Structure 1
Amino acid sequence: MHISKLHFIAATAQQAEQACAGGVRWVQLRVKNTPAAEWEALARATQQVCQRYGATLIINDNPALAQTIGADGVHLGKEDMDPTAARVLLGAAPIIGGTANTFADIERLAAAGVNYIGLGPLRFTTTKQNLSPILGLGGYETLLGQCWAAGLTVPVVAIGGILLSDVAALLGVGLHGVALSGAISHAPDPAAEAALFLDQLHPHAINS
């Protein structure tokens, strides 16, 4: 299963459109405190964007909605449905990702058979409430070392306040890729910013 090196976390279909125009091919729709009908409408609009660009659509926190609209998968936070239960609900094919902050989190998610792990945060970010303890580059290095020692090979993606200047160092400690939100959506030209991140992540490829 291909896990993209750049995960874009969108709050709206418009944000997804801007990022996909810059080459992003993996969109996580993250919605909070939204009525179910509005959430579904937003998910379907974002799905249409992803289908136009051939992008993977992951629904955050809501396996039932992912199943209802036929999304490519779901991303589960630490307070969401257990990944094992989500797998029973969704079946074998959909992608399931999970959020981690500690090695115990990583072990639990790997044992549950997730397809990838979002590990963070790298630094403080205003995008997420109830932020977990900040890892920093050294934290990633330590945790990935523990993964290698334990024989865990699930792809791990960095998240939390990541800047373009962080990408090389994050890849250097063994991370699979990065998950971004504000770095792209708050840029003056989101599509151009997405393309810059992709160039850092895939220096010899286009739209990978």
Structure 2
Amino acid sequence: MRLDLSLYLITDRGLCADHGLVETVAAAVRGGVTIVQLRDKHASDAELIDQVRRLKAALAGSGVPLIINDRLEVARESGADGLHIGQDDGDVEEARRVLGPDAILGLSVQTREQLARLDPSALDYLGLGPVFATPSKHDHAKPLGFEGLAALVAASPLLSVAIGGLKAEHVRPTRDAGAHGLAVISAICGQPDPQAAARAFFTT
């Protein structure tokens, strides 16, 4: 499965409530989303596995991979396409061993020190940020801004997607910083028309 980080959607169950999770994701993919991460800190493993199966059915034929946030066992049991973990959410090498060589594996990175410690051979991409402060994560690191993002991208040995308060108007400065794409939550999940919201990232 081709890894295209151009527009990376991270789900939020609350923000998706108006349209429902599956329809929000399906509409966003019709608008151009290239990769989806299922993120739900409060759902049980069983609930997440059910969500994965419904989302995979909706994504069938699209070529868009479905990644699980943090939950290694869910990624393994559900047939998802991969896993994304944070600095404190598990071991990269263990995740690669469990999921196998074909799974997509991503890691969140906030600092040059974290970059220096990682093993790029076990990973497929990095999530770099936050670029801006964001209400979706209250304990995030100090925002990088685009200058800080560019410094991290320049030091990164892997494909990178920028995250943190990004909207359609940030496509150009994110690309100028060297990132391969933008990861967003509320810019799509919280919008009245998720398809149009996704499409705006390609037309602004």
- Normalising by structure 2, report the TM-score: 0.88
The corresponding residue for 1:206 is none
Matched, 1:15 2:41: no
Superimposed CA distance per residue, residues 37-71 of structure 1 (whole angstroms, 9 cap, x where no aligned partner): 21221222122222253311111111211111211
Gaps of 5+ in 2: 13-20
The corresponding residue for 1:178 is 182
The corresponding residue for 2:164 is 160
SS of residue in 2 equivalent to 1:85: helix
Matched, 1:71 2:71: no
* 2:169–2:201 CA contact under 8 A, matched in 1: no
* 1:84–1:112 CA contact under 8 A, matched in 2: no
Matched, 1:39 2:48: yes
* 1:7–1:28 CA contact under 8 A, matched in 2: yes
SS of residue in 1 equivalent to 2:182: strand
Matched, 1:30 2:39: yes
Match for 2:98: what amino acid? L
Match for 1:54: what amino acid? G
RMSD of aligned alpha carbons: 1.7
Match for 1:162: what amino acid? L
The corresponding residue for 1:126 is 135
Quote the Cα distance in structure 2 between the aligned partners of 1:185 and 1:60: 16
Identity among equivalent pairs (%): 34
Q: Shift of the alpha carbon at 1:199? A: 3.9
The corresponding residue for 2:96 is 87
Quote the Cα distance in structure 1 between the aligned partners of 2:118 and 2:36: 21
Q: Shift of the alpha carbon at 1:36? A: 2.0
Q: Shift of the alpha carbon at 1:169? A: 0.9
Quote the Cα distance in structure 1 between the aligned partners of 2:82 and 2:202: 22
Q: Shift of the alpha carbon at 1:30? A: 0.5
Quote the Cα distance in structure 2 between the aligned partners of 1:138 and 1:13: 36
Quote the Cα distance in structure 1 between the aligned partners of 2:113 and 2:22: 34
* 1:25–1:53 CA contact under 8 A, matched in 2: no
Match for 2:22: what amino acid? A
* 1:83–1:112 CA contact under 8 A, matched in 2: no
- Normalising by structure 1, report the TM-score: 0.87
Quote the Cα distance in structure 2 between the aligned partners of 1:77 and 1:191: 28
Match for 1:71: what amino acid? A
**1:44-55 correspondence runs (5 A):** 44-55=53-64
Moved over 4 A (4+): none
Gaps of 5+ in 1: 201-208
The corresponding residue for 2:6 is 5
Quote the Cα distance in structure 1 between the aligned partners of 2:32 and 2:180: 18
Quote the Cα distance in structure 1 between the aligned partners of 2:138 and 2:52: 22
The corresponding residue for 2:145 is 136
The corresponding residue for 1:60 is 69
Quote the Cα distance in structure 2 between the aligned partners of 1:187 and 1:82: 35
